[in-house]
Structure 1
Amino acid sequence: MYPEEYIHFLAHFHGDRDYFECHEILEEYWKKSNDQSKDSIWVGLILLAVSAYHHRRANFNGAGRTLNKAIHIFTSQQNTLPKIGLEKQTLFSLLTNQLAIIKKEEAYQSYHLPITDPFLLKDCIKKCEQIGYSWNTASNLSDKSLVDRHILRDRSSVIQERIDAIIIKKGNDS
């Protein structure tokens, strides 16, 4: 009923709190999906994970900016929220509260998305256990490999893709 990538996203979001992985999983799914719109519900969830990642690193500007974008998408896609097992009023209340916390530059605290579908919740908890984490665990703020993942990752493939794109663009321009 739900995309496997979405279940993985939720398992990471509520388990190990690897928001970078949440972003990667759903971005890959979104790129392959029929809904490649920038206002896709999947983009909203990606931005939500990015906001949590920035907030945890005390990047309040980045966290606020991406959360505002996520809220805008969720507002335009509010009829889709129940279809992906999320309770929209509770979600909007949660995100409004998160935005206020970020604006006051208060420290990050883990939070839970309001999953209403018991079958989705069961699948997410099971997936979370499969990846070796407990459901609704608080973020390990001392784990630098989690908190600073974007700095520590191997970017050689990303750099090569950019170089290849520049070469192709130069070839097309001539």
Structure 2
Amino acid sequence: MTPFIHYTLLFECHADYFECHEVLEEAWQADGRRHHGYAALIQYAVIHYHLRRDNLIGAKKSLRLLRQKVDVASPYLNELGLDVEAFISQLDEWPLITTLPLQQEVRETVESLKPSFPTTELSFEELVHKHLHRDRSDVITERELALLERQRARG
């Protein structure tokens, strides 16, 4: 399963926007942050996550950032199988639509996978506040090591 298909299934089956972000973040990082389509879709998931948490300021800021990226991202989004014209058009609809506009062949693939896609065991509240429950120990350790390296380099 490609990261984009996984993202789409998480987006449409679970509305797990936080996990959508994580799936594409990993793929984007692995690609050296060159895939502008991943960056745009990460931003799109962030918008939905903010909206569900009633963070309208965060959602609007993220939407503004997405609009700045979408022209550069369009060829990458098209290559992934997104109907780019419909996607851009949906950015003007409020609230945002909770299904992705996919090219026909990709839509058929996603629909064929939905019945076998595992259901989420998370409650709605857990989905809404997922960022509060994640294990950030690896990130904290990495930041502490970077701080130590900077301190060593200084003196």
Give the TM-score taking structure 2 as reference length. Answer: 0.87
Partner of 2:9: 11
CA root-mean-square deviation: 2.3
Matched, 1:67 2:54: no
Partner of 1:125: 111
Partner of 2:152: 171
User: Could you list the runs of 5+ residues in structure 2 that have no partner in the other structure?
Assistant: none
Write the mapping of 1:90-129 to structure 2, written as runs, cut at 5 A: 90-98=86-94, 101=95, 111-118=98-105, 120-129=106-115
Corresponding residue to 2:80 among 74, 77, 84: 84
Matched, 1:151 2:132: yes
Matched, 1:56 2:37: no
Q: Bigger relative contact order, structure 1 or 2, given CA contacts below 8 A and separation 6+?
A: 1
Q: Residues of 2 paired with 1:78 and 1:143: CA distance?
A: 32
Is the contact made by 1:19 and 1:49 (CA closer than 8 Å) also made in structure 2? yes
How far does the alpha carbon of each residue in 1:44-89 deviate from its partner, in whole angstroms, 9 at most, with x for none?
1001001100110000111111122112211222233322212222
User: Could you list the runs of 5+ residues in structure 1 that have no partner in the other structure?
Assistant: 102-108, 135-139
How far does the alpha carbon of each residue in 1:73-124 deviate from its partner, in whole angstroms, 9 at most, with x for none?
11222233322212222111111213xx4xxxxxxx7521110132x22332
Secondary structure in 2 aligned to 1:121? helix
Matched, 1:21 2:2: no
Number of residues paired by the alignment? 154
- List structure 1 segments (4+ residues) > 6 angstroms apart after TM superposition: none
Percent of pairs identical after alignment? 30
Is the contact made by 1:12 and 1:128 (CA closer than 8 Å) also made in structure 2? no
Specify which structure has the higher proportion of helix. Answer: 2
Q: Residues of 1 paired with 2:98 and 2:45: CA distance?
A: 11
Closer, same or farther: CA 172–131 of 1 in aligned 2, 3 Å: farther
Give the TM-score taking structure 1 as reference length. Answer: 0.78
